Amino acid sequence: MIEKTIAHIEANKEASVDRLKDFLRIESISTDPDCKPAMKRGAEWVHNLFLDCGIESEIVETPGHASVLADTGPAENGGPTILFYGHYDVQPTGDLSLWDSPPFEPTIRDGAIFARGSADDKGQILAHMLAVEAWRKAVGKLPIRVKFLVEGEEEIGSANLEKVVRDHKDRLSCDYVALSDTPKFDMATPAITYGTKGMIYKEIIVSGAKQNLHSGSFGGTLTNPGNALAQIIASLRDGDNRVTIPGFYDDVLPLTDEEKEKMQALPFDEAAYMKGMAVPSLEGEKGYSTLERRWTRPTLDVNGLLGGFTGTGSSTVIPATAMAKVSMRIVPNQDAQKISKAFDNAVLAAAPKGIRIEILTHAMCGAYVSPLGTPGMNAAAKAMEAGFGKAPYFIREGGTLPILPMFKEVLGAESLMMGLCMPNCNAHGPNEFFHVSDLHNGARASAHFINELAQVR
């Protein structure tokens, strides 16, 4: 059966590329009100592909952009149910002059399709759709039940996704969620991302006098909110780049020996990484390797600073207010609520006298780790190897995917992150690309994934 499916994928390579190009021509920028008709066309394009291969599908409207829910129906021999998640909306193009070819006119150069959304996420979700289509057209029935949830608001924070999932909890019930919104390790090597960090995003607003004051006439008689803010931020970390918030590390789980070994075994090129960022040296929490810090240790970073006079030259004001955006990435077993509270307390404790402090919380989300060694994870690994011709690396990610803890909570399902695109695919920048070979390899891997899961009883 799998042979027939793979043969179908191979025989339709050219048509698949044309279909991706067709998908990419739709200007489905979810943040742009002018793109509302294109967003509708994007949902319909996905919906029609499912209908075309005889899969039940529905466009579910939301107060924002619609989601497409599809379902191949119960499998004859039971087995696990898989839910593929993806999104048909894309990022804005940004400055068009930075694109070598127009973002909505897909162009192939050096084996890659350049277009907005090619990697994030149209190319990747289409690979999964093509696999299911191949099963349908080459074999007829799928050996397991496969569902799809393709949303239209990923690039604007998935505001309505949780409600859609809760409202359609039974329809979406599954054993695993599979998604490709993470990268491969490098050109030749696929990767399964098994952990993402959580995030708590704060804004600290320090207020002093009712207006900016002359630093000569008033200096030395009141607390300067700019100095106070610097003092507060500086107090949150020590000289070893450890976060000093009381209790911050209390619940952090140490890495297992297996994880440590796997991480040390990865061919991670520190020099190339450093050169890519163009920093003088790599720095971070003392006692941990670069990859450990990046993927598994909680961090605290200033994201923005603003206060007083910021133009060219000089203006001698004592700022009335100063603001910092500060976020923390947290790791498994850290409690977001607890860390959030500890942060607020630490900020207030570090504040000097003579000012007022306001702390806003813009985001709060826990970390997610997908257990290794589950039948689903093993099937994903075998499928990636079959699709790409090389066993995947198991990696973690410093970024945050709030939908993963949500799927876990609402559907009770773990997520499998089977990335198909390149780490440098320019996902949110100009000249976003997706390798043609990764479309085909991804489709094959997805087909194998379904086949592998069918062996799980």
Please give the full DSSP string across 389-420, using - where no structure is assigned. Answer: SSPPEEEEESS--THHHHHHHHH--EEEEEE-
CB of 106 to a second copy, least distance (A): 26
Which positions ≥6 away from 374 have C-beta within 8 Å? Answer: 414
Residue number with CB closer to a second copy (170 or 221): 221
CB of 348 to a second copy, least distance (A): 14
Backbone angles phi, psi at 394, to 5 degrees: -100, 115
Residue number with CB closer to a second copy (246 or 354): 354
Which positions ≥6 away from 323 have C-beta within 8 Å? Answer: 203, 204, 205, 206, 229, 304, 305, 306, 307
CB of 215 to a second copy, least distance (A): 5
CB of 381 to a second copy, least distance (A): 23
Residue number with CB closer to a second copy (265 or 277): 277
Look-up: residue for tokens 């496969």?
A: 146
Residue number with CB closer to a second copy (19 or 197): 197
Comparing CA positions, the residue from 192, 108, 234 lying closest to residue 388 is: 192
Backbone angles phi, psi at 134, to 5 degrees: -60, -45
Peptide bond into 121 cis (omega under 30): yes
Residue number with CB closer to a second copy (46 or 326): 326
Helix axes 436-454, 13-24, angle to 10 degrees: 110
Contact 35, 65 (CB under 8 A): no
The DSSP code for 237 is B
Residue 324 backbone class (left: φ over 0; alpha: ψ -120 to 50; beta: rest): beta
CB of 37 to a second copy, least distance (A): 27
Residue number with CB closer to a second copy (46 or 365): 365
**Residue 348 is which amino acid?**
L
Residue number with CB closer to a second copy (145 or 293): 293
Contact 91, 154 (CB under 8 A): no
CB of 323 to a second copy, least distance (A): 7
Cα 260 to the center of its chain, rounded Å: 23
Residue number with CB closer to a second copy (72 or 93): 93
Residue number with CB closer to a second copy (167 or 270): 270
Strands (E), 175-229: 176-179, 191-196, 198-207, 213-214
**Residue 451 is which amino acid?**
N
CB of 298 to a second copy, least distance (A): 8
C-alpha neighbours within 13 Å on the C-beta side of residue 412:
6
CB of 186 to a second copy, least distance (A): 15
CB of 314 to a second copy, least distance (A): 4
Q: Kindly tell me the burial class for residue 65, based on how many C-beta atoms sit within 10 Å of its own C-beta (0-12, 13-18, 19 or more).
A: buried
Residue number with CB closer to a second copy (319 or 366): 319
CB of 219 to a second copy, least distance (A): 4
C-alpha to C-alpha distance for 424 and 353, rounded to whole angstroms: 47
C-alpha to C-alpha distance for 294 and 316, rounded to whole angstroms: 40
